[in-house]
Amino acid sequence: MATYDNKIWLLKNIRDAFIATDDTGLCEIVMAGEDFSKIFQIKGLEEKKRIKEARALQPGTSKIREGGDSCEDFEREIITQFEPYPDIDESEDEDPLGSSYVRYEEFGGYRQRSNTSQWLDKKEQALKKAAKIKVIKWEDSSPLSKEQCMELFPTVEVKPPEKQKSLLAQQLENCPDLPHRQYLEYGKFDGTAQLGLQTKCFKIFMTMLSEKHQNYPLVVCVIASAKIKDLIGFTCYKYSIEHPEISLGSVHEYGLCIAEDDGEVDWAFPCLDANEPCSKFGFTCLGLIELKNKKSFNSPPIPMPDDGHVFHLFPKMTDSGQSHNNPSRHNTGGSQTSEAVISALRAVNEEKKSSEDANLEKIQCHIMATEAPQYKSYKVQLLRKVRTNTSVQLGISLDRIEIEPLVTHKHVFWSNSRSKYFLHSIESVAWCQILETRGYRTTFRIVYSPSQKNNSALDKNASEHAGYSHLHTTYKYHDFESDHETAKEIVEKVNTILDLLNSSCRREYKISKEKKSQTRRSFHTKHLS
Amino acid sequence: MAGDTTASLGGSQVALVTGGYDHTIKLWQAHSGVCLRTMQHPDSQVNSLEISPTSMVAAAGFQHIRLYDLSSANPDPVTTFEDISKNVSRVGFQKNGTWMYTGGEDCTARIWDPRAAPRTRCQKIFQVQAPVNAVMLHPDQSQIMVGDQSGIIHIWDLKTDQNEQLIPEAEASIQDIAIDPAGKMMAAVNNKGNCYVWSLSGQPPHPVPKKHITAHSKYALRCKFSPDSTMLVTTSGDCSAKIWRTSDWALLRELRRDTQRWVWDAAFTLDSRFLFTGSSDSYARLWNIERGTLEREYCGHQKAITALAFKDQPV
């Protein structure tokens, strides 16, 4: 049996024996690979030759040279590391290999059992089960005699029942507000002992608990039609029953992610859609995770134009960039936006909706990076030096940043004259940062270069500034105000895009900024010394 | 799981069992609302459940009665009673559990001896003309009230095999019969929603009409006296259970819930302070009678609950 430890022997055996015993498909891997037994044999021969030559050169081993006949015998005695099995060729037809076909099966080979044997097994189990059940059949026996009846059915004196205490009432009084109470409604998704209903079993790792509580997965069985959110609820229900000392949060605070057998959650995938039935998913190992900062992550969906056109996201050659100052532009043109675009938008929104539950910090960054180039608009306050702040819609996409005043129709006249529509090509945007946080508001700044417009084919305003030279770059900025979360998201989004493009404008701005700080530093050091 | 739960939630258990159209019987931890165990009742709905003095639960279904052991973890029955041609609609036990009685759609009421042959079989059959909906053993253990679909209540004397007939209302099927634990009152409900009450006196007890209540606007399904005989509950297809005070037959409580559907069965706690109900909305509920509040909901069945049984003593 020692030969089973021999990898090369095994590989060889698989090669030789695959047809007879293997239906696992493993032999194909071995067959497709190189024939190691041959390679090793060749290597072994080479090694032997080398050793022989080396020994021949050694002065002390004169015996060999003397007895030329014993040379071949001696060769056999040299055993190299490539010798898998002494005399592998000779032994091929002998017993150890020959009988191994049989042994192979009983030892490691696992052949799929036939339907008949499985059916027989089931039958046997049913019989065993039935054997344990006592069956009492109704027999039409001769009626009992009057004496027997008198004896068997005596009249019992009816005593008025005493007042009894209820054990349940006592238990209800003593019953604390058990943690599982909030999940009780999920009890109906229990799939154990269901008859005639499809069920599904999952191994669930409670990844949000401390490490000592997540060594073992919780095995839950639910009916197949249960949705993922029901599965989450049922998991909480089962866990809180088994571990009443651990308090879990609301069902909405958790999500289910795909996990490995060992409980390692695969963070590359978002949580399973809470509204999908669990029968849809083939995974059996899942990790229950906590959804953090749900609020901050709830990004509004991409605005869907009701009348079928999408404003600057998909500009058409004919009307792109026209009438920037015209607040009514939403209603002009754009009717040709294809269904495909709208359906694409819808798909994006759908995706967003479904990933709403997957609000994890870990995947947040990932999503931020992939979503950053997508167009998104925010409602923020544009800060002005002279006039009052105006609320604007700040739209950010991969190629532009637009600031559109939000006006109610009442004040169209005023706002037309007062607030302006800005459109900056992303090439002209140099910097974006948070300035300060005060109370519940955060101000942030977007720095742009008004002269950096010659590259921008999108911006029609460019013409008036076309003459400016790069050397005289001046920077202007817009300051905005919004709540923390929005400000944070905008700054992150803009910076992700800027980093992605790394435009010349941004590079120049960075350089000039560095220079400035250097001069400031040198100024400081001068003064200090 | 059952073992774990019992251990973690502690203490001796009272037994609440429910069954219905989803072919399962569930054992609940009544105070926490957790389902401890699910037993399988293949091929048939559960028409009636009763817990024996030996902590066995009997489930009446189509063509058989099955006995399950509540004190073990066995999901399968330990005994089945067979050779019945139709549905068994009600099941009950003699006080000490020495025999079991049933009524069924094959127009019979039967006495079964759970002990195996060849002992003297305590076995009896009572044939009537219409499918039997209700059987109720008098607390003196020697008379069984058999209610059938033709509207007749047969008072079957087990000792003499003689019977007496009562017809409270023509052309109305008797749905259920109840006798109070003191053996002083008998009540029956019919498919018109009417409830009839008799007082029982004499030896053997003889019923004297006492009261007629128009209990429900629809089909009545069950009636039961409270252990202290002060209340009678009637359940109905009008989605409610009503509790009547036996002293003046006034309506004490109407237990209703928006989501509740037909209320098929009910059971009092020993102190007559709480009531369990089982409904077609697949929920069993625990009510505080005094306050009329819903205390617990038992959620786990996939389909309607049509039978429940409760034993307010440690199992």
Tell me, letter by letter, the H, E, C secondary structure of A370-390: HHCCCCEEEEEEEECCCCCCE
Whether B37 shows a pLDDT value over 70: the answer reads yes
- Token readout for B62 is 């189509």
- Does domain A179-291 fall into CATH 3.10.20.90? yes
Q: What is the pLDDT of residues A182-203, one digit of tens each?
A: 788 888 888 887 777 788 888 8
* Count of beta carbons in the 10 Å neighbourhood of residue B71: 11
- What local confidence, expressed as pLDDT, does residue A372 receive? 66
pLDDT bin (cut points 50, 70, 90) of residue B25 is very high
Q: Angle at which helices A484-501 and A361-371 pack, to 10 degrees?
A: 50
For residue A158, the chain B residues in CB contact (below 8 A) are 139-140, 182-183
- What local confidence, expressed as pLDDT, does residue A278 receive? 85
End-to-end alpha carbon distance in chain A: 84
- Token readout for A425 is 């090509």
CB contact under 8 A, B314 and A167: yes
Return the residue of B nearest to A242 by Cα.
B5
Location of each CATH 2.30.29.30 domain in chain A: 372-518
CATH number of A372-518: 2.30.29.30
pLDDT, average across residues A37-63: 71
Return the residue of B nearest to A139 by Cα.
B83
* Count of beta carbons in the 10 Å neighbourhood of residue A176: 8
- What local confidence, expressed as pLDDT, does residue A103 receive? 39
Task: Name the average pLDDT for chain A.
Answer: 69
For residue B120, the chain A residues in CB contact (below 8 A) are 148, 152
- Token readout for A249 is 């949060």
Q: How far is Cα A364 from Cα B218, in angstroms, rounded to an integer?
A: 58
Contact A486, A455 (CB under 8 A): no
DSSP H/E element including A36: helix A36-57
Task: Name the average pLDDT for chain B.
Answer: 90
Contact A424, A459 (CB under 8 A): yes
pLDDT, average across residues A311-338: 36
Of A53-62, A341-350, A419-428, where does mean pLDDT reach its minimum? Answer: A341-350
Phi, psi of A34, deg, nearest 5 = -80, 155
Return the residue of B nearest to A184 by Cα.
B299
C-alpha distance from A83 to closest chain B C-alpha (Å)? 56
Q: How far is Cα A528 from Cα A522, in angstroms, rounded to an integer?
A: 10
Q: What is the pLDDT of residues A212-243, one digit of tens each?
A: 777 678 888 998 888 998 999 999 888 888 88
- What local confidence, expressed as pLDDT, does residue A197 receive? 79
Whether B218 shows a pLDDT value over 70: the answer reads yes
Higher pLDDT, A62 or B271: B271
For residue A126, the chain B residues in CB contact (below 8 A) are none
CB contact under 8 A, B24 and A169: no
CB contact under 8 A, A137 and B82: yes
What is the number of alpha carbons within 13 Å of residue A27 lying toward its C-beta?
Answer: 14
What is the number of alpha carbons within 13 Å of residue A434 lying toward its C-beta?
Answer: 17
Which of A165, A167, A174, A242 is the best mutation test for B, with the most CBs of B within 10 A?
A167
C-alpha distance from A180 to closest chain B C-alpha (Å)? 9
Q: Does A385 touch chain B (CB under 8 A)?
A: no
Residues 6+ apart with CB under 8 A from B231: B225, B243, B244, B245, B246, B252, B268, B272, B289
Phi, psi of B293, deg, nearest 5 = -100, 155
Higher pLDDT, B144 or A315: B144
Q: Does A102 touch chain B (CB under 8 A)?
A: no
For residue A167, the chain B residues in CB contact (below 8 A) are 12, 14, 270, 312-314
Q: How do A134-137 and B79-82 pair as beta strands?
A: parallel
Q: How far is Cα B197 from Cα B212, in angstroms, rounded to an integer?
A: 6
Location of each CATH 3.10.20.90 domain in chain A: 179-291
pLDDT, average across residues B229-244: 95
- What local confidence, expressed as pLDDT, does residue B279 receive? 95
Which of A150, A165, A168 is the best mutation test for B, with the most CBs of B within 10 A?
A168
Q: What is the pTM of this model?
A: 0.58
Considering only CA atoms, which of A283, A281, A284 is closest in space to residue A273? A281
pLDDT, average across residues B36-59: 92
pLDDT bin (cut points 50, 70, 90) of residue A50 is confident
For residue B83, the chain A residues in CB contact (below 8 A) are 137-139
- Token readout for A503 is 């435009």
Amino acid at position A511, single letter? I
C-alpha distance from A258 to closest chain B C-alpha (Å)? 26
Contact B274, B285 (CB under 8 A): no
